[in-house]
Amino acid sequence: MQKVYNFSAGPSVLADEVKLQAQKDFLNFNGSGMSVTEMSHRSKWYEDINNEAGALLRELMGIGDDYYVLFVQGGASTQFEAVPLNLLVKGKADYLVTGNFAEKAAKEAQKYGDIRIAASSKDKAFTYIPDLDTVEFRDDIDYVHFTMNNTIFGTRFTKFPKTAAPLVTDMSSNILSEVVDVNRFQLIYAGAQKNIGPAGVTIVIVKKDAIDHPMAICPTMLKYSTQAAADSLYNTPPCFSVYMSMLTFRWLKKLGGVAEIQKINEYKAGLLYDFIDNSSFYTNRVNPADRSIMNVPFVTPSPETDAKFIKEAAANGLVSLKGHRLAGGMRASIYNAMPVEGVKALIDFMKKFETENR
Amino acid sequence: MQKVYNFSAGPSVLADEVKLQAQKDFLNFNGSGMSVTEMSHRSKWYEDINNEAGALLRELMGIGDDYYVLFVQGGASTQFEAVPLNLLVKGKADYLVTGNFAEKAAKEAQKYGDIRIAASSKDKAFTYIPDLDTVEFRDDIDYVHFTMNNTIFGTRFTKFPKTAAPLVTDMSSNILSEVVDVNRFQLIYAGAQKNIGPAGVTIVIVKKDAIDHPMAICPTMLKYSTQAAADSLYNTPPCFSVYMSMLTFRWLKKLGGVAEIQKINEYKAGLLYDFIDNSSFYTNRVNPADRSIMNVPFVTPSPETDAKFIKEAAANGLVSLKGHRLAGGMRASIYNAMPVEGVKALIDFMKKFETENR
């Protein structure tokens, strides 16, 4: 088979080592004679997986004992509602709207309290992060919410909001890709399907003292306290997704951890941005200081040429490069598991395509 | 490796053919060069999986066009809340409490409306199904809810409640194990991890005209209309769980469908119940007419002997036979994918153990 580089924004490329291990052990995990897809979540085998996954994530991100690490279901979209349902005590929160998912998060929260959009970059098609030195937040709010990396538009926060209010952030598309001080946050959430594992599990990292006052209308299954009390085993968890996440955590630890992968990610992103910036054919519209190192959107001189690019790239084993319908053009998602060779292969193809279509 | 028979109540044994296929295609699904664990849910490949899974389930269960078939996240536990949040319009429903999960479903629903327990079998440790000829339901209710098969206590409904009200049922532990007329129901839900596939996906089969009046406080992600409008792709689905569910549907169809597997299930259950009933050492406490063909609880003369049985059975490759903590003793879950040989191996071991421990 042809070697394929998968630039999908999510679900996304997993490390070869992780996939090979999962395949090898697929019929017989750890001598159990069973597949992880069929074993009881109350078995010693799965208990070990659940514990190791949690412990490794704590180690990789430097998460202290004052936080719960939860594995839940429903994706970040469910967290858009779980966050206000659990954290709105005074009933007020401020949101930064820097993309489609940030906007959805704010919209869902508005059903549950007094939500103010403190700043938005919608005026320029979400191509920048608002200047955090000038954004003002209300005094009496429960939290400030922002989306640390914006998957569709290719921006990221390199600084955090200046406020005494607790911070809540959606790290779905940048978790474990760069060093982040967890202690700055009240709550971090992330769908696993970009930098961690198969879709179906969502990570929630939340301060232990923040989960005791869910709103009365909060469903039991959306309360953080429900899974916190049961070590994420209140009901049947998405076992195989947690298992493959654990394999990714092992892989990342062996590779040197988050600081090490961050260097590689910055190198990969640098290669691609440098090539685009030095080209008169390809354009990335994002404010350079706010560029994501995970998602790199770009366009050619015309939508027709974009369509041709996507088609020919796929024929050359560079797949899922089509940009989100809200952004158009192309998008290369170069998460942790995308090897440097994949980015180089993309750049080689871009060069060739430019020559043929200039 | 020793051959293992997995009697877990859920997640549960999957068919060898299904696991082998998933392992074979794990690194390269359908020539895509990608694993299903990492491919975009917006790709043609996954769209095909989503469509085939839905179409096969419709075919296997005889689900008409007046129903939506949804693949959602959160388990049956989330449906305990989604059901009342979506279906309570008049604000009233009646519940039959025939086990732990039925009781939880009623308890969660009580937060959202006027919920009446129409009948309960808690008085005799859930060892029977209430006489449906004498159970009375209120006239002005939105629905009657019951749990068709009770995983922990090993009972099942062989008839349905007599009422003009719409019926809602939890089929987590008996879906696809016996022929059921879907047209009798307003809504059927089932976690996949017993008779279908890996944990992480929940099946919802709901009348199209029943989903337009969710309660105002219903979270967007718990509204059936959200996923119905998006063909279960509103947000990233649990792709690999849906994929393996599709493989199970293919396997079941090839095997002859639900009517055929029902015969096999009745044969397997018959072997085990006959053996237990003819033994003076083992006891099944369930009212014979209400016995589950999926979950068979039994005890030896003492808790100490039960513990010994569970330990020695595991050493002989018969695993996950420990009963639920609420029921004690043993429980053999003999879902669709448990081969006849597995049940025979269990009976052989039971004979031997009886001889040695009488």
Using the Cβ of A12 and the Cβ atoms of chain B, whether some distance falls under 8 Å is answered with yes
Q: Which of A2, A8, A28, A34 to mutate to test the interface with B (most CBs of B within 10 A)?
A: A34
- CB contacts of A194 in chain B (<8 Å) are none
Would you state the structure tokens that stand for residue B165, as one six-digit string? 């009200």
- Kindly tell me if the per-residue pLDDT of B247 is higher than 70: yes
- A193:B236 CB<8 A: yes
Backbone angles phi, psi at A311, to 5 degrees: -65, -50
- A28:B1 CB<8 A: yes
d(CA B242, CA B198): 8
- By C-alpha distance, the chain A residue nearest B35 is A19
Mean of the pLDDT values across residues B223-241? 98
The minimum CA-CA distance between B180 and chain A, rounded to whole Å, is 25
| pLDDT for residue A1 | 57
The minimum CA-CA distance between A2 and chain B, rounded to whole Å, is 7
- Mean pLDDT (chain B, rounded): 97
Would you state the structure tokens that stand for residue A24, as one six-digit string? 């090898």
Mean of the pLDDT values across residues B287-304? 98
d(CA B194, CA A133): 53
Using the Cβ of A288 and the Cβ atoms of chain B, whether some distance falls under 8 Å is answered with no
Strands B167-170, B143-147: pairing kind = parallel
Using the Cβ of B1 and the Cβ atoms of chain A, whether some distance falls under 8 Å is answered with yes
Mean of the pLDDT values across residues B196-200? 98
Would you state the structure tokens that stand for residue B259, as one six-digit string? 């009517």
Tally A–B CB contacts below 8 A: 207
- CB contacts of B217 in chain A (<8 Å) are 217
- By C-alpha distance, the chain A residue nearest B198 is A37
Closest to A350 (Cα-Cα) out of A251, A236, A250, A273: A273
Report percent pLDDT > 90 for chain B: 99
Contacts with B32 (C-beta within 8 Å, 6 or more apart), sequence order: A4, A319, B39, B43, B45
- By C-alpha distance, the chain A residue nearest B221 is A78
d(CA A303, CA A311): 12
Tell me the DSSP string of B320-351.
--BPPTTT-SEEEE--TTS-HHHHHHHHHHHH
**Omega of the bond prior to B11 within 30 degrees of 0, cis?**
yes
3 state DSSP class of A332: strand
Residues 130-149 of A with CB under 8 A from B: none
The minimum CA-CA distance between B162 and chain A, rounded to whole Å, is 30
| pLDDT for residue B3 | 82
> Is A236 known to sit in a ligand binding site?
yes
- Which whole-number Å values give the CA distances from B269 to A287, B128, B310, B316, B347, in the listed order? 66, 17, 20, 21, 11
Binding site, residues of B? 42, 76-77, 101, 151, 170, 193, 235-236
Which helix (H) or strand (E) segment holds residue A47: the answer is helix A44-61
The minimum CA-CA distance between A280 and chain B, rounded to whole Å, is 30
ipTM above 0.90, yes or no: yes
Closest to B199 (Cα-Cα) out of A31, A39, A45: A39
d(CA A189, CA B311): 40
Would you state the structure tokens that stand for residue A223, as one six-digit string? 């309360």
| pLDDT for residue A316 | 96
Evaluate whether A35 touches A29 at the Cβ level (below 8 Å). yes
Using the Cβ of A59 and the Cβ atoms of chain B, whether some distance falls under 8 Å is answered with no
- A39:B6 CB<8 A: yes
d(CA B47, CA A254): 35
- Kindly tell me if the per-residue pLDDT of B261 is higher than 80: yes
Using the Cβ of B110 and the Cβ atoms of chain A, whether some distance falls under 8 Å is answered with no
Mean of the pLDDT values across residues B99-121? 98
Amino acid identity of A170?
D
Mean of the pLDDT values across residues B257-275? 98
Q: Is the pTM of this model over 0.90?
A: yes
**Omega of the bond prior to A161 within 30 degrees of 0, cis?**
no
Evaluate whether B119 touches B135 at the Cβ level (below 8 Å). yes
- Kindly tell me if the per-residue pLDDT of B51 is higher than 70: yes
- By C-alpha distance, the chain B residue nearest A28 is B1
Closest to A282 (Cα-Cα) out of A290, A292, A272, A291: A272
- By C-alpha distance, the chain B residue nearest A219 is B81
Which helix (H) or strand (E) segment holds residue B309: the answer is helix B303-315
d(CA B123, CA A341): 66
- A19:B37 CB<8 A: yes
- By C-alpha distance, the chain A residue nearest B101 is A235
With tokens 């009517």, the residue in question is: B259
The minimum CA-CA distance between A60 and chain B, rounded to whole Å, is 22
Would you state the structure tokens that stand for residue B339, as one six-digit string? 């081969």
Using the Cβ of B121 and the Cβ atoms of chain A, whether some distance falls under 8 Å is answered with no
Counting as low any pLDDT under 50, the low residues of chain A are none
Using the Cβ of A316 and the Cβ atoms of chain B, whether some distance falls under 8 Å is answered with no
Mean of the pLDDT values across residues B100-119? 98
Would you state the structure tokens that stand for residue B254, as one six-digit string? 């090839």
Long-range pairs, A265-269, Cβ under 8 A, ≥24? A265/A177, A265/A178, A265/A293, A265/A294, A265/A334, A265/A336, A266/A293, A267/A340, A268/A293, A268/A334, A268/A338, A268/A340, A268/A343, A269/A293, A269/A294, A269/A296, A269/A334
The minimum CA-CA distance between A35 and chain B, rounded to whole Å, is 8
Evaluate whether B316 touches B5 at the Cβ level (below 8 Å). no
Closest to A171 (Cα-Cα) out of A188, A186, A185, A159: A188
d(CA A197, CA A178): 17
Closest to A70 (Cα-Cα) out of A99, A50, A42: A50
- Kindly tell me if the per-residue pLDDT of B1 is higher than 60: no
* CA-based max dimension of chain A: 62
The 3-state secondary structure of B86-102, one letter per residue = HHCCCCEEEEEECCHHH
Using the Cβ of A86 and the Cβ atoms of chain B, whether some distance falls under 8 Å is answered with no
Sign of the Cα pseudo-torsion (A25, A29, A31, A34, in order): negative
